[in-house]
Amino acid sequence: MNRINSELRSWLGLLVVLGPVLLVAMDGSVLFLAMPAITGALAPSADQSLWILDSYGFAVGSLLIAFGTIGDRYGRKRLLMIGAAMFGLGSVGAAFATSPELLIAFRVLMGVAGATLLPSALAVLGTLFTDPRRRAQAIGIFAATFAAGFAIGPIVAGQLLSHFWWGSVLLINVPVVLVFLVLAPILLGEVRASGGAGVDIASVLTSAAGLLLTMYAVKHVAAEGVSFATLVLGLAGVALLSVFGRRQARIDNPLIDFTLFRNPVFTIAIITGFLPLAAWSATAYLAATYLQSVLGLSIADAALLAVPGALVLTVAAVVTPAVVARIGRAAALITAHFTIAAGLLLLLPTGTGDGIGWYIAATAVAGIGYGISFSVVADIAVAAVPAERAGSAAALAETGNELGNALGIALFGSLAAALFRIDGPDLAPTLGETLNLPGLASAVLDDARSAFVSGLHVVAVTAAILHGVLGAVAIRVLRSEALAADKSNAVPTEPASHRRPPADIRS
């Protein structure tokens, strides 16, 4: 009876933890469909629109590793409780924001809170499930929930926006947060590592400031062109990131252990964590605008069209562990890249008159690759490094996912914005702002829509090429690593005491 009660308590604890995990993932994409409504209500500029979308992911990704270290030292459950409360308050503030600046500020607060939740939630699972088999199942459910959150964010938003104002997509966080704050103290135990090193504040500040300035420069150039001030800010951001990188090599408790990237298998896994999220977030945002502003669909209809791709992505994430057991991690990783590339290319036949069928096909095919990548990246990254570095590898894999979500919109979204500024009617920097201008002739509107679709196509092709190249590199590197492992019966470049069986690379 005690064993049954203990197991039931563990699974209930998992359910409680999954609530914040789902919210953190959903809020990376929940505003995609809401942007036309936000544009009408708050009238953000082109670069403010991009910041509204990616400031959240930027804050999560840039602080994820730092808060992982803080949780180790001061307690995971405590950090979860503080982070959940901050997330709820930030959601309320963002929902009732009256200006673009306020909305961006509260989205940043939500991102900081989200960075406290993800690593702590994953660490808590280790105490909830001491049996390795159960723990593996729980981590698999955790990964599938995180992947599903990204996919269903626009769908949930579409249903809410068809009945309520845009802020409702953020207020749905509040009930989940309240349930967590009530049940977490009952079901979760405290997790704290003994003797953990402190957090290097200089590393946190230089990395965050460097990313902030660099991304601002990229977005500003895309929206308004090159200026002296933008160039200075961009160079300052690159300089700060360089200082951050050199500091990590000198200090005893780095936020990122860059020596891990000497292992090519680990490097490919981390890039795989970044690139699919970058491609998915950018194309999901652009496709949401395409369905509403180009094809003229309602928010509810646009949300329903995202359901097939979301279902495929979620199922792929759930079944990937079983598939990996049969074909191996390397084959799954390679399959993910080429499947995503194929799905992205299916966006090319979309046009200003019709493209719904191609959109559904594209999201379904790419969803297979996205689901595989979300599920397998952390596994292959951890397997590719020595056991004592597994925690750092897992944190880097999660950080790659979050930065991919933020930087995907910043980089690919900026590319689309720049192309629209060049090829569009030159009346406003974005399609939404152009369509809101009064008295435009139908020919001008058609020109604006055509320019936006061309930008979408260029982004899809660019992302597809990057996935194809990385897939080809993965074939070469992973095959070379497996052959070397066969010859030496160990992963190359690692000391003998750290070596793992060759199956860690191939399986």
Q: What is the CATH number of the domain that holds 262?
A: 1.20.1250.20
Residue 374 included in any domain = yes
Residue 48 included in any domain = yes
- Specify the pLDDT at position 64: 72
- Specify the pLDDT at position 503: 37
Average pLDDT over residues 47-69: 76
- Specify the pLDDT at position 410: 74
Residue 434 included in any domain = no
In terms of domains, do 238 and 265 share one? no
pLDDT in tens, 322-332: 787 788 777 88
In terms of domains, do 354 and 488 share one? yes
In terms of domains, do 180 and 267 share one? no
Q: Considering 173, 198, 223, which residue would you say is the last residue of a domain?
A: 198
Q: Over 50: is that where the pLDDT of 185 sits?
A: yes
In terms of domains, do 302 and 226 share one? no
In terms of domains, do 249 and 281 share one? no
Average pLDDT over residues 305-319: 83
In terms of domains, do 10 and 109 share one? yes
Residue 70 included in any domain = yes
Residue 433 included in any domain = no
- Specify the pLDDT at position 358: 94
Q: Considering 150, 169, 198, which residue would you say is the last residue of a domain?
A: 198
pLDDT in tens, 385-418: 654 455 556 667 767 776 777 678 778 888 888 8
In terms of domains, do 320 and 385 share one? yes
Q: 71 with 79: CB under 8 angstroms?
A: yes
- Specify the pLDDT at position 366: 93
Q: 26 with 149: CB under 8 angstroms?
A: yes
In terms of domains, do 153 and 48 share one? yes
Average pLDDT over residues 433-444: 84
Distance of alpha carbon 36 from alpha carbon 184, whole angstroms: 37
Residue 177 included in any domain = yes
pLDDT above 90 covers what percent of the chain?
17
In terms of domains, do 183 and 217 share one? no
- Specify the pLDDT at position 242: 92
Domain that holds residue 238: 200-254
pLDDT in tens, 208-243: 788 778 877 876 776 667 788 889 998 999 999 899
User: In three state form, how does the secondary structure of 408-461 look?
Assistant: HHHHHHHHHHHHHHHHCCCCCCCHHHHHCCCCCCHHHHHHHHHHHHHHHHHHHH
Of 156, 155, 61, 54, the C-alpha closest to 107 is 54
In terms of domains, do 217 and 237 share one? yes
In terms of domains, do 181 and 38 share one? yes
Residue 73 included in any domain = yes
Q: How many domains does the chain have?
A: 3
Q: 76 with 192: CB under 8 angstroms?
A: yes
Task: List the alpha helices (DSSP H) in 27-45.
Answer: 35-42
In terms of domains, do 225 and 305 share one? no
0.95 cut: is pTM over it?
no
Per-residue confidence at 480, pLDDT binned at 50, 70, 90?
A: low
pLDDT in tens, 361-374: 999 999 999 888 87
Q: 188 with 81: CB under 8 angstroms?
A: no
Q: Considering 165, 198, 231, which residue would you say is the last residue of a domain?
A: 198
pLDDT in tens, 128-154: 776 666 766 676 677 778 777 766 777
Residue 435 included in any domain = no
b/e map of 470-506 (b: 16 or more CB within 10 Å)? bbebbbeebeebbebbeeeebbeebeeeebbebebbb
